């Protein structure tokens, strides 16, 4: 660079000197020409002589100047030659430096290419390890499922074997008892005769009870043994009162044609008819029992009691209050049975709903797994294509390198999302607790506090807003938490005194202010979620507006009709 500048300056200075020499030569020629013209002019004037001398003097000065310029030109030529030699030397050094630099850049590219190849190998190993891990997890799940199936089969087989052994044991015990019976045959014959006599008495009593329409309770019980025992105890009391003839109160001893015996027959016949009628009325009333009509059934029993006593007042016969109380108790027991059955049905319905919800959540999670696998395959394909293009560019394309890093970042996000789904599938308690309202259906100030484990919780709200309610629910809060059942139970306990339905705790509606719910939620889980204070209720308010417009239009129409 320095040699080039020096050459440029020297060359420029040389050109200037050459131009000056040319000007001097031109001036010398002009002087000679003037001198020649002057000599040729006739006459010898003094001015001409003086002019000639001046021209000669000027010529001499020009000759000296030319010599000086020539010497200077020679010096400049020498300087130019020296500068050219220096430039040649510098160019040689520059070529050497460029050669070393090119060799270094080649080595650097070679090392960078080797580094990328190593990264490709490492990434390939990572993908292979990930596939192996997924394969191991799937195999583990299949093995676990197979073990569980075998456990169930083994358990069923063991139960069958146990039942079979029990049957064999019972058969052996029966054989032993038969053997003992044969040994003690003579002694037991007397006991059998005695038992037969007792059975004859019991059969006669049973026949007498059937005559007054008293049978064992035949309602299909699916309740606990306690209710069965209570009902059996109640039936025994009724039978005892009928056998003892204490169910009917009689104040007069009647005679028929002067015969007390015929009078007792008539009285007993009336008593059987009264008890039969009352038992039939009670059975018919209780057979219509549902969990919601106990008051109606009780009134029917009391009405039958009063009607039968009123019709037999002239005979001085009446059903005692104690027997009525036993029938009311029987009715209450049946009611308790229906109530428990209803609770069991609701519980079963809730369990089925939970199972459906769980299956939906699992299906949703597995769908997300499928989406992640497809996304991962797509990213891996992009990554391989971009790396091939990057290697073809000798690792010099920064845009491709940026795209590769972006794809790798997306692959890491996919892996993080997969781990979150695995944790959610394994733990099973994470989910969303929602606070929703339905002004058009429930009115203002009533909120539903529930939970869902779905990945898309608004799908659950859409299901609740289905055809069973006229307006859709508005969401006030959707709280994501690691233990959704615990948070839901906590809120239900805190606001239990504000329940709309105090009987059925599975009805999750509360008449409480939204500020109270908000403060309790903030105190429990913090404020890392959005809380909407006002419900949208768009369809409800639009419906009100339409109704108001129709009412105004109708009033206007009737006013105009009245005017005409």
Report pLDDT digits (tens) over 531-545. Answer: 888 888 888 888 888
Of the ranges 33-37, 174-178, 293-297, 382-386, which one carries the lowest mean pLDDT score? 33-37
Residue 494 maps to a domain:
yes
The number of beta carbons lying within 10 Å of the beta carbon of residue 170 is: 10
What CA–CA distance (Å, rounded) separates 100 from 289? 106
Residue 409 maps to a domain:
no
What CA–CA distance (Å, rounded) separates 400 from 405? 9
What CA–CA distance (Å, rounded) separates 270 from 264? 10
Cα-trace Rg, the chain:
58
DSSP string, 231-262: HHHHHHHHHHHHHTT-SEEE-----BTTBHHH
Mean pLDDT of 337-342: 76
Residue 269 maps to a domain:
no
- Mind spelling out the 3-state secondary structure of 76-108? HHHHHHHHHHHHHHHHHHHHHHHHHHHHHHHHH
Structure tokens, 149: 């199936």
Residue 94 maps to a domain:
yes
The pLDDT of residue 313:
85
The pLDDT of residue 210:
42
Of the ranges 209-213, 344-348, 527-531, which one carries the lowest mean pLDDT score? 209-213
Residue 256 maps to a domain:
no
Report pLDDT digits (tens) over 488-520. Answer: 989 999 999 999 988 777 789 999 999 999 999
Residue 333 maps to a domain:
no
C-alpha pair distances (Å), 164 with each of 151, 175, 176, 458, 509:
19, 16, 18, 53, 52
Of the ranges 207-211, 253-257, 282-286, which one carries the lowest mean pLDDT score? 207-211
Question: Which of 175, 195, 211 is where one domain is finished?
Answer: 175
DSSP, collapsed to helix, strand or coil, labels residue 312 as: coil
Mean pLDDT of 29-53: 63
Confidence check: pLDDT of 204 > 60: no
What CA–CA distance (Å, rounded) separates 511 from 312? 54
The pLDDT of residue 201:
40
Report pLDDT digits (tens) over 455-465. Answer: 778 888 888 88
Confidence check: pLDDT of 214 > 60: no
Question: Which of 175, 208, 236 is where one domain is finished?
Answer: 175
Residue 371 maps to a domain:
no
The pLDDT of residue 6:
43
The length of the chain in residues reads 564
Question: Which of 175, 198, 222 is where one domain is finished?
Answer: 175
Confidence check: pLDDT of 339 > 90: no
Alpha carbons within 13 angstroms on the beta-carbon side of residue 481 total 22
Angle separating helix axes 321-392 and 225-243, nearest 10 degrees: 170
Residue 278 maps to a domain:
no
Supply the range of the domain harboring residue 534. 429-564
Mean pLDDT of 367-372: 78
From 466, 472, 484, 473, select the one nearest 524 (Cα to Cα). 484
The pLDDT of residue 209:
47
Mean pLDDT value across the chain: 76
Q: How many domains does the chain have?
A: 2
């Amino acid at each position: 660079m320095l040699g080039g500048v020096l050459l440029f300056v020297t060359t420029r200075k040389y050109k200037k000197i050459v131009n000056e020499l040319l000007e001097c030569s031109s001036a010398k020629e002009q002087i000679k020409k003037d001198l020649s013209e002057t000599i040729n002019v006739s006459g010898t004037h003094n001015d001409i002589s003086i002019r000639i001398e001046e021209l000669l003097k000027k010529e001499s000065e020009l000759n000296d100047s030319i010599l000086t310029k020539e010497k200077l030109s020679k010096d400049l030529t020498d300087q130019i030659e020296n500068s050219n030699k220096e430039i040649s030397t510098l160019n040689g050094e520059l070529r050497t430096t460029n050669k070393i630099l090119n060799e270094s850049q080649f080595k650097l590219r070679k090392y960078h290419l080797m580094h990328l190849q190593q990264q490709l190998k490492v990434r390939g190993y990572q993908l292979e390890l990930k596939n192996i891990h997924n394969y191991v997890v799937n195999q583990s799940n299949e093995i676990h499922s197979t073990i569980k199936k075998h456990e169930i089969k083994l358990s069923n087989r063991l139960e069958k074997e146990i039942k079979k052994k029990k049957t064999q044991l019972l058969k052996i015990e029966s054989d032993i008892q038969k053997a003992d019976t044969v040994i003690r045959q003579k002694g037991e014959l007397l006991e059998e005769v005695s038992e037969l006599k007792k059975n004859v008495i019991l059969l006669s009593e049973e026949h007498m009870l059937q005559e007054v329409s008293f049978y064992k309770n035949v309602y299909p019980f699916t309740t606990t043994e306690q209710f069965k025992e209570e009902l059996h105890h109640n039936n025994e009391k009724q039978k005892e009162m009928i056998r003892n003839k204490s169910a009917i109160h009689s104040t007069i001893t009647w005679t028929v044609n002067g015969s007390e015996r015929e009078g007792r027959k008539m009285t007993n016949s009336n008593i059987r008819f009264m008890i039969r009628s009352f038992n039939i009325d009670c059975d018919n009333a209780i057979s219509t029992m549902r969990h919601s009509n106990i008051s109606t059934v009780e009134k029917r029993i009391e009405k039958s009691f009063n009607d039968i006593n009123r019709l037999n007042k002239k005979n001085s016969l009446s059903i005692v209050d104690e027997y009525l109380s036993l029938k009311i108790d029987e009715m209450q027991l049946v009611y308790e049975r229906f109530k428990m059955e209803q609770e069991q049905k609701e519980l079963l319905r809730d369990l089925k709903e939970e199972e459906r919800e769980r299956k939906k959540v699992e299906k949703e999670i597995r769908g997300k797994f499928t989406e992640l696998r497809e996304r991962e395959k797509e990213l891996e394909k992009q990554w391989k294509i971009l790396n091939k293009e990057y290697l073809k560019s000798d690792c010099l394309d920064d845009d491709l390198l940026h795209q590769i890093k972006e794809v790798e970042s997306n692959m890491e996000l996919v892996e993080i999302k997969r781990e979150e789904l695995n944790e959610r599938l394994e733990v099973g308690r994470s989910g969303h607790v929602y606070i929703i309202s339905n002004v058009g259906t429930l009115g203002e100030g009533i909120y539903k506090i529930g939970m869902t484990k779905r990945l898309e919780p608004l799908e659950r709200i859409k299901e609740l807003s289905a055809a069973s309610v006229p307006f859709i629910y508005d969401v006030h809060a959707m709280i994501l938490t690691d233990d959704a059942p615990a948070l839901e139970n906590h809120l239900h306990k805190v606001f239990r005194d504000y329940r709309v339905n105090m009987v059925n705790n599975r009805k999750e509606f509360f008449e409480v202010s939204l500020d109270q719910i908000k403060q309790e939620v903030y105190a429990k889980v913090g404020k890392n979620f959005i809380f909407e204070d006002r419900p949208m209720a768009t369809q409800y308010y639009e419906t009100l507006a339409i109704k108001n417009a129709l009412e105004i239009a109708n009033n206007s129409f009737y006013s105009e009709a009245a005017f005409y």
